[in-house]
Amino acid sequence: MNYAEAKKMLEGCGQEHVLAWWKKISKEEQKSLLAQIAKIEPKSLAYCQKALKAGTTAVDNSKGVAPKVAVLKGRKLAEAVEAGEKELKAGRVAALLVAGGQGSRLGYDGPKGCYSIGPITGAPLFYFHARKILARTIRYGRTIPFYVMTSEANNEATVRCFEENDYFGLNPDDVFFFTQGMWPGMTADGKIIMDAPGHVFMSPDGHGGLLAALKRSGALDDMKRRGIKSVFFFQVDNPLVEIADPAFIGYHVMEKSDYSLKLCAKRDPKEKVGMPMRFGDSFRMVEYTEMTDEQCNRRAKDGSLYFLYGSPAIHVFDRAFLEREAGKSMPLHLAFKKIPFVDAKGKVVKPSEPNGYKFEKFIFDVLPNARRAAFLAFDQKEEFSPVKNAEGSDSPATCKADMQAKWRRWLAEAGVSVKEGVPVEIDPAYALDAADIKSLGIALGAE
Ligand code: UTP
């Protein structure tokens, strides 16, 4: 795209201010600004402006009821595990990681997946994910292809992290990086925000950007070519996640589900997690901000919370469902944020109050489109401890403590007790679960 084309396109949608500093910026900046403009589609701008006009309208969730959530035990659990193992042995399972977020709460300068979390080795989050996939691949004798969604901002550093670590033992041919889309930030009146005279403020289009990105990148075609049926979805910040867990895969397949969700019991009525609710024949994720106090505190007959189960974003999708959804447009969610901007004199200002909007799509917005959905309960302490904040709850400190507590439980089951205060770390490719530890007959002598 050249200057004249960019000008014409921007004028056509009332955004000509994007070129206001053209003569003041360097040749290099001009080139990169044109490259940015070339990626902005007028159609997408109109979509964002429409979302701004509509604003955040309150949705009526009062008719929502709690979904049926399976708690698998005994024979039912064994059946699900068997069905899941069958899928894994047939090579019909893929792992899909969304790692395009900005991790602003953690405040780490780099892809969150590169953040050091190993209590002893300092290994990054990516290490724990990749090594689990490797372990399952070895256990079931079939490849689990690994699809990693990045953003334009962190793609290069993510790929470098994998390369520098020899893909953590995975075959590079089975790791597929793809990049999600970016939206420009806008003021309330629908004007693109410039965060430097030669630069448009852009932010990733949310984990829901996954669907379009899967299609655009050819990842969906790659899954089809490999004969993938079930796609295990997870987030980068949770090293406790049991990737491609056979019970979950098996339950999903047995239920002939399009979209299955692992859910865990809320620790308190006001916990900040989304809740899937049933509305007639379909389901919808209701965010904690959209629940009334009455809904948060409602009790079932046995005294437990009626809306007990929240979603930590651990899903299994049917590949054909992802294909169906990938071509559809998704709702946009607005986030009112502090966005740096260029003032009338060309100076960059860091606002102290929110001044502009970011736009995001959320993957769970496709839940109502699922012809069949399934919900499976799991124990939070075994599988969910995210790294969201730099300190306090859901921080590296709590996550490392939870990882070690889990490994200690495994060791205890194998009759190995580790003194309090002694750090513990287990390579997932060495032992994927307590049974592995037992069968290895470990005698650590750490008493
Ligand atoms: P979060 O909602 O925790 O957002 O993402 P974040 O960007 O990582 O962190 P904050 O809110 O800025 O502190 C949950 C998961 O969704 C991915 C993240 O990488 C993480 O795995 N994600 C989020 C994307 O892949 N793309 C996005 O645009 C947003």
Report the percentage of the chain scoring pLDDT > 70: 98
> Rounded distance, CA 23 to CA 179, Å?
32
Q: pLDDT tens digits, residue range 141-174?
A: 999 999 999 999 999 999 999 999 999 999 999 9
Residue 444 has pLDDT above 70, yes or no: no
Task: Say if residues 194 and 201 touch (Cβ distance below 8 Å).
Answer: yes
Strands in 100-142 per DSSP E: none
Q: What is the mean pLDDT of residues 341-349?
A: 94
- Has residue 48 been placed in a domain? no
Three-class DSSP category at 202:
strand
In this prediction, residue 442 has a pLDDT band, given cuts at 50, 70 and 90, of: low
CB of 355 closer than 6 A to ligand 1?
no
> Rounded distance, CA 130 to CA 223, Å?
18
> Rounded distance, CA 228 to CA 226, Å?
6
CB of 387 closer than 6 A to ligand 1?
no
Task: Say if residues 353 and 188 touch (Cβ distance below 8 Å).
Answer: no
Q: pLDDT tens digits, residue range 179-218?
A: 999 999 999 999 999 999 999 999 999 999 999 999 999 9
Residue 228 has pLDDT above 70, yes or no: yes
From the list 277, 280, 302, 279, the residue with the least C-alpha distance to 288 is 277
Task: Say if residues 133 and 144 touch (Cβ distance below 8 Å).
Answer: yes
Q: What is the mean pLDDT of residues 315-332?
A: 96
Q: What is the mean pLDDT of residues 97-114?
A: 94
Residue 57 has pLDDT above 80, yes or no: no
pLDDT score at 125: 98
In this prediction, residue 446 has a pLDDT band, given cuts at 50, 70 and 90, of: very low
Q: What is the mean pLDDT of residues 417-427?
A: 93
pLDDT score at 348: 95
| Burial (Cβ within 10 Å: 0-12, 13-18, ≥19) of residue 196 | middle
In this prediction, residue 54 has a pLDDT band, given cuts at 50, 70 and 90, of: confident
Domain that holds residue 219: 60-394
With vertex at residue 77, the alpha carbon angle to CA 76 and CA 79, rounded to the nearest 5 degrees, is: 65
Report the percentage of the chain scoring pLDDT > 90: 90
- Has residue 38 been placed in a domain? no
Residue partners of 398: CB distance under 8 A and separation at least 6: 385, 392
Q: pLDDT tens digits, residue range 285-318?
A: 999 888 999 999 999 999 999 999 999 999 999 9
Residue 408 has pLDDT above 80, yes or no: yes
- Has residue 14 been placed in a domain? no
Residue whose Cα lies nearest atom 23 of ligand 1: it is: 101
- Has residue 408 been placed in a domain? no
State which ligand 1 atom lies nearest to the alpha carbon of 237: 21
State which ligand 1 atom lies nearest to the alpha carbon of 98: 25
State which ligand 1 atom lies nearest to the alpha carbon of 360: 28
Q: pLDDT tens digits, residue range 240-290?
A: 999 999 999 999 999 999 999 999 999 889 898 999 999 999 999 999 888
**Ramachandran angles phi, psi of 78, nearest 5°:** -60, -40
The rounded mean pLDDT for the chain is 95
- Has residue 25 been placed in a domain? no
- Has residue 37 been placed in a domain? no
Neighbours of 16 (CB within 10 A): 14
Mutate to test the pocket of ligand 1, among 97, 98, 202 (most ligand atoms within 8 A of CB): 98
- The one-letter amino acid code at 285 reads M
150 C-alpha to ligand 1 centroid (Å): 10
- The one-letter amino acid code at 76 reads K
- Has residue 125 been placed in a domain? yes
- The one-letter amino acid code at 52 reads L
Lowest mean pLDDT among 41-45, 152-156, 425-429: 41-45
Q: For the chain, what is the domain count?
A: 1
- CATH code of the domain covering residue 370: 3.90.550.10
Lowest mean pLDDT among 153-167, 232-246, 408-422: 408-422
From the list 266, 248, 400, 216, the residue with the least C-alpha distance to 314 is 248
- Has residue 11 been placed in a domain? no
183 C-alpha to ligand 1 centroid (Å): 15
207 C-alpha to ligand 1 centroid (Å): 7
- The one-letter amino acid code at 40 reads I
Q: What is the mean pLDDT of residues 416-425?
A: 92
